[in-house]
Structure 1
Amino acid sequence: MTSNGNPASQVREAIEHLIESGSTYNLEELERLYHRDLKIFIVDEDGNAQVLDRARNMEMFQQRRDAGLDPLNRWAEFRHIEAKDEAGFVIVTRKMELRGRPETFVLAIHLVREDERWQVVQETIFVRPQATGG
């Protein structure tokens, strides 16, 4: 990491690296960034919930890479970042077309500092379709 010793800056850099790595299906970097106990909770616009573990999440990225899909949009707007000791938390909004339509993702991401790096241990994602037209 290139940031100064500020933990919040380090957490932001970790999430920026996660966005870059995920958007380009860089499985090697995702392996480093996702904690072994990763859980992802996804809630769609109808209130349906889905839970992914690390293996299922990595499988999804691998399938996209192996299918030769275009990289995902890297657009991100950071809403909140905090870090203290070995715990970090970020709220970030993303705009992507992950499921065949333009969607907005609001992510609440929990990180832990372990093995001398920040790792994502939990994501809660709220998905909604992007408004179309003017």
Structure 2
Amino acid sequence: MTNTTYTKETHTPAAIRAAMDHLIDRATNFDIEALDTIYHDDFHTTLVMPDGSVMTYNKQAFKAHFAKQAEEGKTQLNTWADWHDFHVLGDSAVCVLSRIHSGMNGEEMKLLCNIEFRFEDDRWQVLREQIFLRPLSEG
């Protein structure tokens, strides 16, 4: 049986790519107001640092992390992304990508990301992020 949810214009890999492009643009410019609408109220992110330590943030704490960088006068972060996979299943979606920027720990690093979205309130919102940080030397 075909579920029309999967064929909606809003429920396509292209729509997830557009949501990710918007997230990258707004986060790399420290747009806290936009992040408030991009991140779901139940947002949770897990950062696995190169040494194996783990940091977690909820929505408010992660927005504060970006706000602190803006207050410190950081300029736009690197927007580079390498796209690996987009998968839409009903009102859930996952994007797997690699990024390079210094916004997580102040040092330019490669970030391996698994981003989970939920379609709610007529828009895709980031529900979960799992980010593995690696030195650029690891390729």
Aligned alpha-carbon RMSD (Å)? 1.4
Contact 1:103/1:127 (CA < 8 Å) preserved in 2?
yes
**Corresponding position of 2:114:** 108
**2:126 aligns with one of 120, 123, 127:** 120
Aligned AA for 1:110? E
Partners of 1:67 and 1:102 in 2: CA distance: 17
Determine what percentage of the aligned residue pairs are the same residue. 26
TM-score using structure 1 length: 0.91
Deviation at residue 129 of structure 1 after TM alignment: 1.1
2:18 is aligned to 13
Structure 2, unmatched stretches of 5+, are 1-7
Which contiguous aligned blocks of 4+ residues in structure 1 show a shift greater than 4 angstroms? Answer: none
Q: Secondary structure at the match of 1:131?
A: helix
User: Normalising by the residue count of structure 2, what TM-score does the alignment of the two structures yield?
Assistant: 0.88
The answer (yes or no) to whether the contact 1:7–1:84 under 8 Å persists in 2 is no
Structure 1 CA distance, aligned partners of 2:54 and 2:24? 22
Matched letter for residue 99 of structure 2: R
Q: Structure 1 CA distance, aligned partners of 2:106 and 2:95?
A: 26
CA distance in 2, matches of 1:97, 1:61: 11
Structure 1, unaligned stretches of length 5 or more? none
Return the offset for 1:63. Answer: 0.9
2:3 counterpart residue number: none
Q: In the TM superposition, what is the alpha-carbon distance from 1:117 to its structure 2 partner?
A: 0.1
Matches within 5 A, 1:1-134: 5=9, 7-98=12-103, 99-131=105-137
Separation (CA, whole Å) in 2 of partners of 1:109 and 1:128:
17
| 2:111 alignment partner AA | F
